[in-house]
Amino acid sequence: MTADLTIAGFQPDFANLAEHIASERAAIYPAKIEAKAMTQADADHRIFVARAIAEIWRCATDVHLRPKPGLLRLTRGEVLADLDRAIDIADRRILKAPDDRHRQHERDQLTAMRWWHARYDHPSAYALSMILNLRYDALQLQLRAEADSGKAAA
């Protein structure tokens, strides 16, 4: 695994990737529903979870954003299961195209996102707690990096 789990790995790009996954799902799932490989409810829920993950990361990296109320019904278990599924799909795509750096980067980002989500175990108001904890951790990591760079300069 090459995922960066430091301040540099705490990326606003996670929101973009989660939104991209939601868009991919919205494009692919109608055919799966028609083929009876998936229910409409399951498709809607998986798209919701991907969009909710995107919203968590947007709000965590931009203190001026407020989370959408519908997001608050998301659970940690749903997020981790969804990210596990997305990592599995990314791994299968890489097996088909092992030199595809873009797919490798996506998998690394998904792995890092899952690592961050797995760190927080708040059973109630998970999404809101996650946003606040991520904001706090990002600030602490940034302050530590600034302090360390000040020590290096001295």
**CA nearest neighbour of 52 among 125, 153, 112, 142:** 125
Instruction: Report whether 86 contacts 117 (CB < 8 A).
Output: no
Tell me the average pLDDT across 21-41.
Answer: 96
What's residue 124's pLDDT? 63
**Cα 106 to Cα 26: distance, rounded to the nearest angstrom:** 18
**Cα 50 to Cα 58: distance, rounded to the nearest angstrom:** 12
**CA nearest neighbour of 135 among 53, 69, 58:** 58
What's residue 50's pLDDT? 93
Q: Where does the pLDDT of residue 7 fall: very low under 50, low under 70, confident under 90, or very high at 90 and above?
A: very low
| Of 3-7, 36-40, 51-55, 130-134, highest mean pLDDT | 36-40
Residue spans per domain, the chain: 7-147
Per-residue pLDDT tens for 66-89? 878 777 778 888 999 999 999 999
**CA nearest neighbour of 52 among 98, 18, 96:** 18
What's residue 2's pLDDT? 46
Tell me the average pLDDT across 92-110.
Answer: 92
